[in-house]
Amino acid sequence: MSVAESVPAAFTINPLSPALGAEVVGLDCAQPFDAETMARLREAFQHHHMLCFRAQDLSDAAQIDFSRQFGPLEGLPEKDKTKGRREVYNVANVSVDGEHLPEDDQRVIFQRNNARWHTDSSYRDIPSLASIMYGIEVLPDGVEGGETGFSNMLRAYEALPAEMKRKLEPLHQVHSYGEIRRLEPQMPAMTAEERDSVPPVTHPVIRVHPERGGQRSLFFTSNTSLEIGGMTLAEGRELHRWLVEWADRPEFCLYHRWREGDLVKWDNRVLLHRAIPYDYAAYRRVLRRTTVAGAGPILGPFSNAVRDGLA
Ligand code: OGA
Ligand code: MN
């Protein structure tokens, strides 16, 4: 082995806030990582939950290669939001051909739905492990909006009043991709094929993490259904409103202001995120997302594996 191959990459990891997040400076994500770099990144991801790799220059293919180092990728259920390959999701108010879209275009309306706290692909039986988003065109300095907000659900769970922890313990939320259409009524109905590929699922509201020695976090979303099993719709809505306000508390949150070339990887198992709205007509914003698939179903306090002491 040559000396160059045996020397691990020199890069620094700097925390971005007390709540979550760190920036990685001096690492080229277009190159495959050696084992030591992977180990450092894995540890940093476990600790900070969100890593922002600065100053990257990545093609679609390079982003896919980078992302696959962390596991198999998800494909999107709808063809029209991808760039021809279902693993690459165009998060933009600009078409894949570069046209700045009108505000009433369904692709822009879909972006607005991202403004609610959520975790990616929670509408699947096995929701995603991580999302990876690359900043291609970002809002100029001084312009309002366009950040991605993150909220740390490990901290949010820890800080809950004991009575609320008890109340949430047995609850499950219904997650339904089709509900996005109800929340954004201007969107066209899904085709039967799309609907059949993503039937509603339920997940525990308290998530137990085997990879964290059984530590717990909150797990809920507001961009799909607001139904909570065992409650009337009105009770579920009220509880949901309370949870959303709780997730908003500044001590759990980081608002990431994008720089061109940022590549942000976040942990969908323990964070919620949201897009902060901006003036869609005046500014272009182009990000590109890949999504690492989850490793198994979501465990709650009453899952068999937890009860049997495996988590
Ligand atoms: C997403 C998303 C946030 C943003 O694409 O899943 O939530 O800031 N995006 O665009
Ligand atoms: Mn999202």
* CATH number of the domain encompassing residue 278: 3.60.130.10
pLDDT value for 99? 96
Range of the domain at 237: 12-307
Give the rounded percent of residues in the chain with a pLDDT score beyond 70.
91
Distance of CA 161 to CAs 16, 23, 156, 158, Å?
Answer: 27, 32, 10, 9
- 222 belongs to a structural domain: yes
Task: Find out whether the beta carbon of 273 lies less than 6 Å from any atom of ligand 1.
Answer: yes
Each residue of 252-274: pLDDT tens digit? Answer: 999 999 999 999 999 999 999 99
* pLDDT number for residue 311: 66
Please give the Cα distance from 132 to 62 (Å, whole number): 12
* Residue located nearest, by CA, to atom 7 of ligand 1: 114
Confidence of residue 84 (pLDDT cuts 50, 70, 90): low
- Contact criterion met (CB below 8 Å) for 228 and 173: yes
Q: Give me ligand 2 centre to Cα 150, in Å.
A: 10
Identify the weakest region by mean pLDDT among 71-85, 131-145, 187-201. 71-85
Ligand closest to CA 258? 1
272 lines ligand 1 (CB under 6 A): no
Ligand 2 centre distance from Cα of residue 230 (Å) = 27
pLDDT exceeds 60 at position 78: no
pTM: 0.93
- Write the DSSP string, the chain: --HHHHSPPP-EEEE--SSS-EEEES--TTSPPPHHHHHHHHHHHHHHSEEEE-S----HHHHHHHHHTTSPBP--S-GGGBSSSTT-EEEESB-TTS-B--TTSHHHHHHHHTTS-B-TTTTSSS--SEEEEEEEE-PPTT-S---EEEEEHHHHHHTS-HHHHHHHTT-EEEE-TTHHHHHSTTSPPPPHHHHHHS--EEEESEEEEGGGTTEEEE---SSS---BTTS-HHHHHHHHHHHHHHHT-GGGEEEEPP-TT-EEEEETTTEEEEEPP--TTT---EEEEEEEPPSSPPB-TTSHHHHTT--
Q: How far is the CA of 274 from the centre of ligand 1 (A)?
A: 6
Band of residue 7 on the pLDDT scale cut at 50, 70, 90: low
In this structure, is residue 276 part of a structural domain? yes
On whether residue 294 sits in a domain, the answer given is: yes
272, β-bridge pairs: 151
For residue 101, the model assigns a pLDDT of 96
The protein residue with its alpha carbon nearest to ligand 1, atom 5, reads 91
Q: Is residue 2 part of a domain?
A: no
Instruction: Read off the pLDDT of residues 90-118 as tens digits, 9 standing for 90 and up.
Output: 999 999 899 999 999 988 988 888 999 99
Q: Is the pLDDT of residue 47 over 50?
A: yes
Whether 1 is in a domain gets the answer no
Distance 82 CA to ligand 1 centre (A): 14
For residue 297, the CA-to-ligand 1 centroid distance in Å is 23
Burial class (CB within 10 angstroms; exposed 0-12, middle 13-18, buried 19+) of 181: middle
Residue-level pLDDT at 197? 81
Domain assignment of residue 5, yes or no: no
Ramachandran bin of 254, using left for φ above 0, alpha for ψ from -120 to 50, beta for the remaining angles:
beta
Q: Is residue 4 part of a domain?
A: no
pLDDT (average), residues 295-302: 94
Q: Is the pLDDT of residue 6 over 80?
A: no
Residue 7 lies in a domain: no
Q: What is the pLDDT of residue 81?
A: 52
- 108 within ligand 1 shell (Cβ under 6 A): no
Query: What number is the average pLDDT over the span 237-264?
Result: 96
88 Cβ inside 6 Å of ligand 1: no
User: Domain count of the chain?
Assistant: 1
Sequence-separated (6 or more) residues with CB below 8 Å from residue 4: none
pLDDT for res 191: 82
**Higher pLDDT pick, 240 / 159:** 159
Model confidence band, residue 192 (pLDDT cutoffs 50, 70, 90): confident
Q: What does the pLDDT read at residue 3?
A: 47
- CB 289 near ligand 1, within 6 Å: yes
